[in-house]
Every structure is written in C-alpha cells, then in structure tokens.
Amino acid sequence: MKNVFIDYLNLVSPTIMIMKNQFVIEMKNVTKIYKMDSVNVIGVENINLKIKKGEFVCVMGPSGSGKSTMLHLMGCLDKPTYGKVLIDGADSSRMSDDELADLRKYKIGFVFQFFNLYPTLTALENVELPMIIAEKDKEFRKKRAIELLKMVEMEEFKDYLPSQLSGGQRQKIAIARALANDPPIILADEPTGNLDSKSGEEVMKIFKELNKKGKTIVVVTHNEYVATFAERIILLKDGKIIKDERK
C-alpha cells in the first residue's frame, strides 16, 4: 500500500508548487450524503471526474444540483461519504486534519460569492493573512501582498476596509488573497453572484489571465455568460453529472 506520509511530504516540500500528476483533481465514485434529522439528503452521487493541470472548468446546474457540494469536496473542505478525492495524486481521505490544512494552505486558493474578507482588516492585511498562517516573513508577505493587489488593480485601495469598497473591489481583493501562497489550483464558488455585469466581467478576465499563466481554475456558476470563459463545462442535475463537454 502506498504510504500516505510520502504523499504528504510531496505536498509540503519546498517544491510544493510543482504539480506532479497529469490530473490535479480526481473524484472517484464520490457520493456525499447529508443527514438532516431522520432524512438522508444526497448532495452528489457517484461522481467520477478528472481535471488536468491548467484546465479552466465551469461547473453549472440549477440551484440544489450539487455544485457547491462538489466544489467543497474538490477543495477538501468536506469529505465524501463514499469514494475518493485525489489532489495531485494524493488521496485526501487518508490525510489527517493537519495534512488537509496544509494541502488547502499551499495547493488550493478559494474565492467565495460573499468574499469572506475580515471586516476589521484592510485590503492589504486581508491578502497577507494566508501568508501569516503559512509563517512567511513579514517583509516578504507585505511585498507580495502589494504585488498581488497591483495585479488586480487594487494597490491604491490597500489601506481601505472592505466596508469602504464596492462588491467588485472586494472580490478582486478576495482573488488576491486566494493567490497569496501561490496555489496551483483556484476554486471559485459563484464569484460573480453578488456583482454587477461590468464587475463580473472584470473578475472573470482576471481568472482567464491566471489560467493563461498556468493556474487550474474551477468555477461554479449558474451564469451562462460566466461559462463562456471556460474551456470545459460540467453540467450537474440532482447531484449527478449529466454532461461534460469541452469547447
């Protein structure tokens, strides 16, 4: 049996950003069941999926189809009831909580619909936060945070609190924060859901540029326009994949 500790060493080694496998995300016979009182609710059922390094994937489907559940499983924010989720070939179901935390810290960046910024921290401090958790040097993390804010055209707002910014501006800061530890995978859950069309387009163009630079992007959305930015579309219905097509 392959030793999970070897996989873990690969995840936290100095060469952590180098993805070693062709498929950066694999879901094998994945089912997630939620227990609500005496009722079992199926989030996703028997999902089999492989995502290659550098792909731009859009997961679509109506409300309640299992889109967010699938993304949370991909990001190891939740564990499947049955099946396996592999990140760069490493089986997340065999990892400890500390190992999963390191995986999320270094290999996966998250962008959420409601931004999830800390209201009492400035834009700069919000972007620095993942690097503080990763115990990066103070000078390094400040320099990198400024570079990331500059990349998303938010450098001039570095000292602003989230409450002083528009939804589009907050989402750009959230993207910069997701990139703080330079993860190879970016997972975005309805990233334009709270934005006007202009701000939404700006955000999607940032994802497109990141993809061109080699990031693997997975976006969950119900917006057909957002899906035009992706090269592969996965359609969910009632927790099952009913279509998986590349443009």
pLDDT for 10 beyond 50: no
Percent pLDDT > 90 in the chain is: 80
pLDDT for 59 beyond 80: yes
pTM over 0.95: no
Crossing angle (nearest 10°) for helices 97-107 and 4-12: 40
| Alpha carbon of residue 213 to chain centroid | 16
Structure tokens at 71: 């993304």
Over residues 161-182, mean pLDDT:
96
Upper half-sphere CA count for residue 209 (Cβ side, 13 Å): 10
Cβ–Cβ < 8 Å for 3, 9: no
The DSSP output letter for 162 is: G
Domain count along the chain? 1
Among 240, 206, 222, residue whose Cα is nearest residue 58: 222
Over residues 86-101, mean pLDDT:
91
Task: For residue 90, give its domain range.
Answer: 4-246
pLDDT, tens digit, 9 for 90 and up, residues 118-134? 999 999 999 999 999 99
Residue 69 and residue 30: Cα distance in Å, rounded?
11
pLDDT for 240 beyond 80: yes
Q: Residue 93 has what pLDDT?
A: 86
Q: Residue 219 has what pLDDT?
A: 96
CATH number at residue 101: 3.40.50.300
Cβ–Cβ < 8 Å for 223, 49: no
